[in-house]
Amino acid sequence: MAAERMATDNTWTSVRPEDIQQIGQELAIKWDDGTETFLNLEQMRRRCPCASCHGETDIMGNVYKGPEKPYAATAFTLLRLNHVGGYALNPVWGDGHSTGIYSYEYLKRLGEG
């Protein structure tokens, strides 16, 4: 019963990848709705949603994030992808960065814009 409730509210992802492959400098994702997304790895890394890269907003609207750092050439090399539950991917980049959790919805939006 709890699973049925959860599946009907908005806490579950509405899209899921059927296939994910790195093709050169892009991540290709085939979604279960029949669409495909091609993400440039450099842009994907630069749009990392983690708190250190993207920042966190407090209740007053102040954004806190780590200091801006130049990207090393290895920052755009994708070493591996870890699945996070049934809703996201966690890339591990060549510079050691691995704290970004990219929800499926976020990945799909990145590919649309």
pTM: 0.82
Which one is the CATH code of 2-112: 3.30.2020.30, 3.40.50.150, 3.40.1280.10, 1.10.10.60?
Answer: 3.30.2020.30
> Which residue matches tokens 């991540």?
27
DSSP output for 23-77: ETTEEEEEETTS-EEEEEHHHHHHT--SHHHH-EE-TTS-EE-PPP-PPPGGGG-
Nearest to 50 by CA among 17, 97, 13, 6: 97
Q: How do residues 36-79 score in pLDDT, each as one tens digit?
A: 999 999 999 999 999 989 889 999 999 888 788 899 999 999 99
* pLDDT attached to residue 66: 77
